[in-house]
Amino acid sequence: MELETVKLINTLMSLRKIKPAELAKRTNVSKASLSKFLNQKSDLRAEALIKILSALGTDFDSIMMTEINNALGQGKQESIGEDIRFLMENADPITRKTIADTLIASFKSEKNHEIKSRLQRVRRFKETIKTVRRVPC
């Protein structure tokens, strides 16, 4: 297995706080095989690797599906958040600021902690929007 892939799997385990013993248990891969793999001493069978990726939240099937869609010219399946982000990035700054303000105004009386916290991020984003360019004197 390529060094980079093993590194990525180790990083993902660390981020998801999954220990090798737990991963071995979830995937029915022996602790010894997994340990050798993570220490780059041996490879894993394809089936075991797919199980490991899946247990770490990397859905192999959806990655394949996305690639098939791309090859068929049907584009990537992106989330609505990515679509909104793309549209915001392509809007002129005054429109971008107005959309951010509209979100802030729509939820300004909201008590829900998560909404308030996300709204705070929108406020910070809005503060970064410049509607004028500075021309050096």
Partner 1 sequence: MLNSTSNAISSGALTAGITTGSISYADALENYRKNTDWWIVFDTFDLNNAKGSALWISSKTALGVETVTEALEGLTVLGLLVKSVNGFEKVKQNFNIPNEGQTKNQKMQDHALISRQILNHLGEDTRGAVRHMGFASNIDIVTELYHKIDHLILEAQEKSRALRKEEIDNVYLTTYTSINTIPTLKDGKGESHV
Query: Interface with partner 1 includes 121 (CB under 8 A)?
Result: no
CB of 83 to partner 1, least distance (A): 16
Dist. CA 59–CA 46, nearest whole Å: 14
In one-letter notation, the amino acid at residue 95 is: T
Instruction: Report if residue 76 touches partner 1, rule: CB under 8 A.
Output: no
Q: What is the largest CA-CA distance in the chain?
A: 68
Position of tokens 């490991």?
52
CB of 99 to partner 1, least distance (A): 8
Give residues with Cβ within 8 angstroms of 35, minimum separation 6: 20
For CA atoms 64, 55, 14, 125, the dihedral sign is positive
User: Looking only at residues 37 through 56 of this chain, which bind partner 1 when binding is defined by CB under 8 A?
Assistant: none
Residue number with CB closer to partner 1 (50 or 129): 129
- Pair 74, 65: CB distance under 8 Å: no
Q: If binding is defined by CB under 8 A, does position 131 make contact with partner 1?
A: yes
> For residues 77-116, which are near partner 1 according to CB under 8 A?
89-98, 101-102, 104-105, 108-109
Which single residue is written with the structure tokens 């050096």?
136
Task: Round to whole Å and give the CA distance between 20 and 31.
Answer: 7
Q: Nearest distance from residue 101's CB to partner 1, in Å? A: 5
Closest CB to partner 1 among residues 73, 81: 81
- Total residues contacting partner 1 by CB under 8 A comes to 27
**Minimum distance, C-beta of residue 135 to partner 1, in the bound complex (Å):** 5
**Hey, is 118 helix, strand or coil?**
helix
Task: List residues binding partner 1 (CB under 8 A).
Answer: 89-98, 101-102, 104-105, 108-109, 127-137
